């Protein structure tokens, strides 16, 4: 059991994590134990990971895997948690990626303090994810290090408190949607200015990627980098003035706060 990684649910996030740990050499396809009741998804999992084990029951999942990632929707986990309690034992480490379910509730459901909460985001599918990790009281340093290695294989992570995961949800959890909307808008602006749709989208995507990479690689505050490309009375200064008048900055701040508050309400 020590070398296996179990997944309760075989959807997009579970498969993204599985691909990441295999690519990073943290596990072999034969180490994967994935419980997925949907027949269509089972077929896809067989195609992606031919050597993985697809147990026929949740009992078999917990019998075969000591570390289990709970990769189902929050409402599904709430419905089945009590029944899963009968399968868990002291040696089980539970890692929940179900949004909005706090550590205390998970601990009560499973009668275990050996629980970790993670808020990943969809770029984990490209191994460029951003995840927040909060650990339960019964989690050992070895458990925490293992979890960090898993989510480090699909991007970057930060350690935070359970309560701070609401803010993580509002920023990085929902954040890809904000950035994708910006890419779409940048592309539309390019088309309105005379570029083809394909060219505009290619430039918009690379511009966002390039700007993010500059911040990440230099460690320089984005405001400083922005000032470096803003010449007095130039094109960028004119564009930024429009964005400020339209409330671009405050709209993004409000979006993060709104998503964070909604996460707190749902919990």
> Are 229 and 207 part of one and the same domain?
yes
- Residue 249 included in any domain: yes
Domain that holds residue 219: 173-266
Nearest of 114, 190, 107 to residue 147 by alpha carbon: 114
Q: What is the largest CA-CA distance in the chain?
A: 68
Q: What is the pLDDT of residues 82-124, one digit of tens each?
A: 899 889 988 899 999 998 899 999 999 999 999 999 999 999 9
Q: Count the Cβ atoms, other than its own, within 10 Å of residue 195.
A: 16
Q: Which of 38-52, 76-90, 105-119, 170-184 has the lowest mean pLDDT?
A: 76-90
pLDDT, average across residues 67-80: 94
Last residue of a domain, one of 108, 137, 161: 161
Rounded CA gap, 28 and 34, in Å?
A: 13
- Asked whether the predicted pLDDT for residue 136 surpasses 70, the reply is yes
> Are 127 and 248 part of one and the same domain?
no
Q: Report the CATH number at residue 251.
A: 1.10.3730.10
pLDDT of residue 165: 96
> Are 154 and 222 part of one and the same domain?
no
Q: Count the Cβ atoms, other than its own, within 10 Å of residue 86.
A: 10
Its pTM stands at 0.91
Sign of CA dihedral 221, 222, 225, 227: negative
CA-to-CA separations, 1 to 5, 6, 65, 93, in angstroms, rounded: 8, 10, 5, 12
Torsion of CA 70, 74, 79, 80, to 10 degrees: 0
Instruction: Give the count of domains, the chain.
Output: 2
pLDDT of residue 121: 95
pLDDT, average across residues 25-46: 95
The more confident residue out of 266 and 68 is 68
Element (H, E) at 60: helix 58-64
> Are 126 and 222 part of one and the same domain?
no
pLDDT band at 161 (very low <50, low <70, confident <90, very high): very high
Residue matched to tokens 């970790």: 116
Q: Report the DSSP beta bridge partners of residue 119.
A: 132
- Residue 243 included in any domain: yes
Rounded CA gap, 139 and 143, in Å?
A: 6
> Are 198 and 149 part of one and the same domain?
no
> Are 145 and 103 part of one and the same domain?
yes
> Are 102 and 221 part of one and the same domain?
no
Per residue, what are the HEC states of 100-157?
Answer: CCCHHHHHHHHCCCCEEEEECCHHHHHCCEEEEEEECCCCCHHHHHHHHHHHHCCEEE
> Are 129 and 202 part of one and the same domain?
no
What percent of the chain stands above pLDDT 70?
Answer: 99
Burial of 110 (0-12, 13-18, 19+ CB in 10 A): buried
- Phi/psi region, residue 112 (left: phi>0; alpha: psi -120 to 50; beta: rest), is beta
Q: What is the pLDDT of residues 10-21, one digit of tens each?
A: 999 999 999 999
Nearest of 206, 200, 246, 207 to residue 229 by alpha carbon: 207
Q: Report the CATH number at residue 71.
A: 3.40.50.720
Nearest of 17, 79, 91, 89 to residue 48 by alpha carbon: 17
Mean pLDDT of the chain: 95
> Are 121 and 216 part of one and the same domain?
no
């Amino acid at each position: 059991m020590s070398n296996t990684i179990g997944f309760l649910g075989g959807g997009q996030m579970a498969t993204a994590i599985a691909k990441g740990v295999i690519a990073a050499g943290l596990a072999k396809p034969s180490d994967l134990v994935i419980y997925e009741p949907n027949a269509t998804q089972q077929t896809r999992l067989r195609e992606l990971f031919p050597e993985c084990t697809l147990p026929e029951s949740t009992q078999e999942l917990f019998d075969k895997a000591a570390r289990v990632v709970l990769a189902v929707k929050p409402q599904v986990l709430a419905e089945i948690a009590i029944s899963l309690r009968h399968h868990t034992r002291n040696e089980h480490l539970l890692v929940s990626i179900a949004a909005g379910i706090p550590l205390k509730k998970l601990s009560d459901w499973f009668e275990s303090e050996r629980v970790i909460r993670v808020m990943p985001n969809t770029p984990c599918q490209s191994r460029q994810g951003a995840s927040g990790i909060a650990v339960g009281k019964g989690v050992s340093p070895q458990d925490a290090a293992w979890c960090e290695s898993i989510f480090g294989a699909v991007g970057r992570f930060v350690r935070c408190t359970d309560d701070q995961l609401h803010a993580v949800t509002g920023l990085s959890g929902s954040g890809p949607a904000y950035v994708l909307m910006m890419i779409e808008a940048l592309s539309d602006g390019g088309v309105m200015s005379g570029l083809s749709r394909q060219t505009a989208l290619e430039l918009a995507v690379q511009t966002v990627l390039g700007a993010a990479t500059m911040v990440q690689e230099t460690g320089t505050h984005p405001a400083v980098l922005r000032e470096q490309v803003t010449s007095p009375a130039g094109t960028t200064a004119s564009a930024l003035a429009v964005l400020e008048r339209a409330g671009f900055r405050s709209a993004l701040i409000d979006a993060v706060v709104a998503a964070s508050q909604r996460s707190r309400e749902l919990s």
